[in-house]
Amino acid sequence: MARERKDPSDFSVEEKLKNLYQLQTMLSEIDKIKTLRGELPLEVQDLEDEIEGLTTRIDKIQDDIASLQRELGNRRLTIQNNLANIERYTQQLDNVRNNREYENLTKEIEYLQLDNQLNEKKIREANETVERKQEEIRRCSDTVTERRTDLDIKKSELDEIISETRAEEEKLRERSKSLEATIDPRLLSAFKRIRKNSRNGLGVVYVQRDACGGCFNKIPPQRQLDIRMRKKIIVCEYCGRIMIDPELAGVEVQAKGEPKPKRRRRKSAEK
pLDDT at 3 over 70: no
pLDDT for the residue numbered 4 = 56
Are 187 and 124 found together in one domain? no
pLDDT for the residue numbered 1 = 40
pLDDT for the residue numbered 256 = 52
Q: Of the given ranges (58-67, 118-127, 238-247), which has the lowest mean pLDDT?
A: 238-247
Of the candidates 145, 225, 241, 258, the one whose C-alpha atom is nearest the C-alpha of residue 192 is: 241
Residue 258 covered by a domain: no
Are 123 and 163 found together in one domain? yes
pLDDT for the residue numbered 251 = 79
- Tell me the CATH number at 196: 1.10.287.1490
CA–CA distance, 158 with 160 (Å, rounded to integer) = 5
Give the Cα-Cα-Cα angle 240, 181, 251 (nearest 5 degrees).
55
Domain range spanning residue 84?
37-173
Of 146, 173, 200, the last residue of a domain is 173
Q: What is the mean pLDDT of the chain?
A: 87
- Tell me the CATH number at 134: 1.10.287.1700
Q: Phi and psi dihedrals of 238, rounded to 5? A: -100, -50
pLDDT at 161 over 90: no
Are 231 and 187 found together in one domain? yes
What percent of the chain clears pLDDT 70, i.e. is strictly above it? 90
pLDDT for the residue numbered 160 = 83
CA–CA distance, 223 with 234 (Å, rounded to integer) = 8
Residue 89 covered by a domain: yes
pLDDT for the residue numbered 2 = 45
Are 129 and 214 found together in one domain? no
Question: What's the pTM value of the predicted model, to 2 decimals?
Answer: 0.54
Are 185 and 135 found together in one domain? no
pLDDT at 38 over 80: no
What total of structural domains would you count in the chain?
Answer: 2
3-state secondary structure of 213: coil
